[in-house]
Amino acid sequence: MTARKKSNRVPQVPEPEYEPPTPKPRSVADLLSQDFPSLDWIVPDVIPDGCHLVIAAPKIGKSLLTLMLAIACARGKKAFDAIKVRARPVLLLDLESGDRRLAKRLTDFGLTTVPDTFEFHTDAETALAVMREFMEQHKGQSPLVILDTLSEVMGPKPRDLAPMLHEKRTLQPIQRLCAVDPGASVLIVHHNRKDKTGDSVDSSSGTHGLTGAVDGIFVLDRPDRQKPEATLIRNSRDIEDATFGMTLKGVVWTFDGRSAGMARQAAADREVRERIEKQGAVGHKLLALLKEHGPLRPAEAYELYDGDAKLQTVRNALNRLASRGLASQDAAGRYSVKYPPELVEFSELANNSSNSGNSGSYVAPRQRTTSRRKRSSS
C-alpha cells in the first residue's frame, strides 16, 4: 500500500464582506448656515429653473407652447408675446414630429435665423444620451432642454418593477442633471389622463411617481378645442401656485395681458365668469342686484327682486352664491358680490424664499349709492 502524499494547499479563508459605515445624521444648524444658489427663472414670474412636467391633452397645442418657449429662450426675446427672457443654450428633443414637420412649424413662426446654441434632435433611442452630453457641454450656461414627449423615452416596464418606481427611475436621472448645475432646466412634455377628477397634480397620465420626481408641474388646460382660450396652471415646490390666462392666436400662444400679473388677473376673471354662467336665472338676477345695491340682507334682496320667486328661494340662492365663492356674507347677514383680488406685479423669488410671493392684496369694490327700488305689490 502506497502512502498518501500530503497536500501543500493552504486552506482558503473567506474574505469578510465589506459593509460601508452607517451614515450619521447631519446637523440642522449646519444646514441653516449653508449658502445655496439663488433660484432663477426660465420665464420671469412664471416658470422657474428646474425640471418640470408640461401636461396637456393631445392636440390642444402643448408642443406649440414649448416650441415657442424654446425659440424665445434661444433668441432672448419675449415669451408668450409678453415677458422678456434671457438668451441661453436650448436643445429641442422633438421625438414625435420628425424633420419635415418641425421645419414647417419653425417656418410658420417666421423663423429664419437662429443662434448656433439652438439645437434639435429627433431620435428617441439616443435622446437621453444627447441630453446628457448637451447639458455637460453647456454646464454653467443655464441650458434649457425641451423633451417632447416623455412616453418616447420611458421604455418598457420590467415585470418585477412597480409602475411608480419605473416612472421615478426614468425621471430622477433627468432631475439630477438640473440639480448638479444650478440654472439648468428641463421641460418634459407629457399627456394628461382621461379622467378629469382631481386637481392639476392628478391630471398627469401615470402614477404619482412622475409628479413626485420633478420640481414643478405646468398644466395647459383648454376645455374647448374649438375656442382659443386656455389657462396655464402652475404647481411648484419652490414658489406659490398660480394660474395664467392664455389665448391661442393662429399658431402663437399669447398671455392675456402684458405681464404675469395681468395674465393671472385674466385667469381669475375668466374663472369667475365661468362660475357665473353656471348659475340659474335667480342667481344671475341676485348677482346683478348685489353688484348695484349691495350689501343686502335676504329680505332686502327679495324686495328688490323683480320676478316670481319666494323669499326662501332668494335666501337659498344667496347661500349658493356664497358657497360657490361669488358672494360673501358679513356678520350682520348681508351679502355682497365677491370680486377676485386685484393682482399687481410680483416676483416670488426675489428673496429666494418659497411660497412667499407677493400676489397682490384685496381691493374692495367701490359701493354704489343707488336708492333701492321697493318691490311693487300686486
DSSP SS3 for 167: helix
Distance separating alpha carbons of residues 57 and 59, to the nearest angstrom? 7
Pick the residue with more confidence: 276 or 336? 336
Residue 34's CB is within 10 A of a number of other CB atoms, namely: 6
How much is the average pLDDT of 195-202?
Answer: 48
Using the structure block, give the residue that is written with the C-alpha cell 414627449: 149
DSSP SS3 for 192: strand
Domain ranges of the chain: 41-273, 279-337
β-partners of residue 146 are 92, 187
CATH dotted code for 279-337: 1.10.10.10
Alpha carbons within 13 A on the beta-carbon side of 192:
26
Of the candidate ranges 6-15, 282-291, 310-319, the one whose mean pLDDT is the lowest: 6-15
β-partners of residue 233 are 219, 243
Pick the residue with more confidence: 378 or 71? 71
Residue 336's CB is within 10 A of a number of other CB atoms, namely: 18
What does the block give as the cell for 327? 358672494
Q: Which helix (H) or strand (E) holds 323?
A: helix 311-323
**How much is the pTM?**
0.75
Confirm or reject CATH 3.30.565.10 for domain 41-273, answering yes or no. Answer: no
| pLDDT higher than 70, residue 254 | yes
β-partners of residue 230 are 246
C-beta of residue 72 within 8 angstroms of C-beta of residue 78: yes
Query: What is the pLDDT confidence band of residue 249, given thresholds at 50, 70 and 90?
Result: very high
| pLDDT higher than 90, residue 274 | no
Pick the residue with more confidence: 249 or 164? 249
| pLDDT higher than 90, residue 256 | yes
Reported as a single tens digit per residue, the pLDDT across 32-77 is 999 887 888 999 999 999 999 999 988 899 999 999 999 999 999 9
DSSP letter string, 46-97: TEESSEEEEEE-TTSSHHHHHHHHHHHHHHT-EETTTEE-----EEEEETTT
Pick the residue with more confidence: 91 or 35? 91
State CA 94 to chain mean position distance. Answer: 21
- Write down the pLDDT at residue 168: 83
What does the block give as the cell for 28? 440642522
- Write down the pLDDT at residue 67: 94
Distance separating alpha carbons of residues 128 and 105, to the nearest angstrom? 23
Average pLDDT across the chain, whole number = 82
Query: What is the pLDDT confidence band of residue 11, given thresholds at 50, 70 and 90?
Result: low
Q: In terms of Cα–Cα distance, which of 172, 86, 187, 177 is closest to 137?
A: 177
- Write down the pLDDT at residue 4: 60
C-beta of residue 212 within 8 angstroms of C-beta of residue 172: no
- Write down the pLDDT at residue 377: 42
Q: In terms of Cα–Cα distance, which of 83, 85, 88, 68 is closest to 346?
A: 83
C-beta of residue 173 within 8 angstroms of C-beta of residue 145: no
Cis peptide before 295 (omega within 30 of 0): yes
